[in-house]
A and B are shown apart, each in its own frame.
Chain A
Amino acid sequence: MRKVVIPIGPQHPALKEPESFSVTLSGERIMAFSARLGYNHRGIEKACEERTYIQDVYLVERICGICSHAHSTAFVQAVEEIAGLSVPERALYIRTIIAELERIHSHLLWLGVAGHEIGFDTLLMYTWRDREVVMDILAELTGNRVNYGINTIGGVRRNIDASEISDILKAMDILEERTKYYIQLAKEETTLIKRLSCVGILSHEDALSLGAVGPTARASGIPRDTRKDDPYAAYDKLEFKVITDDHCDVYGRTLVRLGELMESYKMIRQALKEMPTGPISVKAPRKIPAGEAFSRYEAPRGEDVHYVKADGTDRPERVKVRAPTLANLQTVAKMLEDRQLADLPIVIAAIDPCFSCTDRLISLREPKKPDKTLAWEDLRAYSIEWYRARGIDFTKVNRKISRRN
């Protein structure tokens, strides 16, 4: 059968963000899949070098609006490590509570989007209605629905008082009730099970070799969770299970996320109960001493990594971000191999991609081979040579044009 290549994106009804994929089809079967990134590349890493540390906290928060707390926490953790600050206990607990609230909003959002991709829009409306409960709590605690701005270097900016605690606990009860209903739905609703099972299969071995992270890895039976493996904030004091599943498909990923929601409710309740009293921040120096640090954070989509290098001034020398979607994106090509085209939207949605996180500039270098990065002038000279070797020469024409001007 003849092969057909169809482009999807950068603007497409199935995509919420600008990115483009090219899918090679034979009939309805997907033969090859490749992604092109970079539509969302804003140059944040470079911009961080031009701004002060405190400005950068708000800038890295805007790498991604869904896991904004993930990025800002990972960044401040790295800076605090370089500066040798010891953050007060209470601040660590508040960071953890916001982090889990963020996970709840992100997973509920995902559940709705997944429902939408399989044509189950009622689920989208249900989950997004329930998500407003946690959005209200986040707005009450931090002052903003998204991009909370609660972190600062050396602690957090807002305290949690008694009336807020009782509001959070009330919200957790409502959400727990609703999540139980969704779990029941996922376990009993035949259309949902049939549509999601055996779709987007990623075997345990493939997940390991492709370096999957977050719920994508955990649904392939890999108990990989930074909160347990390398605890930060107050996670070492909280009790929780790492939810895994061995369905290895989109259905498994749904169950993992639903299970994680239940764990988050538990963790928030425990954190609120055990939160110590005391200050919520320490004073941070404006200039950060020279040094470098590497910080890990389990974002709702997987492990988020920040690297910061300081040179003793009030601006970082280098900031590098590796967002979870970048680690998971390679798995999509594997999941789609030899599958139906109709599965494409839900399989892409199942890793919960976030391209505004992912669009960093990457240059790959092969070891042993000389560096192939070209400067603009070299690139131009190279292209002129390339065409000349093929008998196309514009030198005369160019000269004529420039003479006419």
Chain B
Amino acid sequence: MRIKDKIVKWSRIKSPWMLHFNTGACNACDIEIVAALTPRYDMERFGVMLKGTPRHADILLCSGPVTGQIKDRLKRIYDQMPQPKFVIAVGSCACSGGVFNGCYNVESGIDSVIPVSAYIPGCPAAPTAIIDGVVKLLASLEQREE
């Protein structure tokens, strides 16, 4: 691996910027994501920063089963993110549709629309679980051979 690639990889793993997008969640998972950023859990110690626009984000944190109206917007936001990009599905309904499976206006989970790199189950996923999921994703990136 060239020295330039090493630096890029190091900086990517040490400062992942995240975009949070609610794809029809009940709000509980979103609140837990915010809670994971506040002092008790403090996800920022892993270099994570919440960003407002997809063009700055490396990781897309999605919560919710993907409703009919959100589907196209989710695809558009995913397309707007620069490569390399990763998607984390937070909560049971983002993983598989959860309780909303079978409702007429929902898809069954994020991976029915865009590819997902990590799944964090739980209804809602606890802040500790969210941190665990993010750290595992980062660890898997570290091991990945370019």
Where the two chains meet, the residues of A that have a C-beta atom closer than 8 Å to any C-beta of B are 10-13, 16-18, 38-44, 46-47, 50, 58-59, 62-66, 68, 109, 112, 124-125, 128-129, 131-132, 135, 145-147, 354, 356
Contact = CB atoms under 8 A, between A and B. Distances in A.
B21 A42 contact: no
A41 B66 CA distance: 10
A141 to B, nearest CB: 16
Contacts of B38: 112, 124-125, 128-129, 132
A128 B34 contact: yes
B20 to A, nearest CB: 8
Given A11-B77, A18-B23, A59-B99, A43 B30 contact: no
B25 interface: yes
A11 B103 contact: no
A13 B105 contact: no
Q: Which 10 A-B pairs give the minimum distances between C-beta atoms?
A: A65-B28, A13-B52, A128-B38, A146-B28, A65-B27, A43-B103, A43-B105, A65-B26, A129-B39, A62-B26
Contacts of A147: 26, 28, 123-124
Q: How big is chain B's contact interface, by range?
A: 35 or more
A65 B67 contact: no
20 contacts: A16-B22, A17-B27, A18-B23, A40-B64, A40-B67, A40-B70, A41-B105, A42-B24, A42-B106, A43-B105, A65-B124, A66-B27, A112-B38, A129-B40, A131-B35, A132-B35, A145-B126, A146-B28, A146-B31, A354-B27
A112 B37 CA distance: 13
Contacts of A58: 99
A355 to B, nearest CB: 8
A252 B70 CA distance: 35
B121 interface: no
Given A13-B53, A39-B24, A39-B69, A128 B102 contact: no
B114 to A, nearest CB: 14
Contact of A17 (B22, B103, B104): B22
Contacts of B31: 65-66, 109, 146
B27 A39 contact: no
Given A42-B103, A65-B25, A129-B38, A16 B124 contact: no
A124 B40 CA distance: 12
A59 B34 CA distance: 23
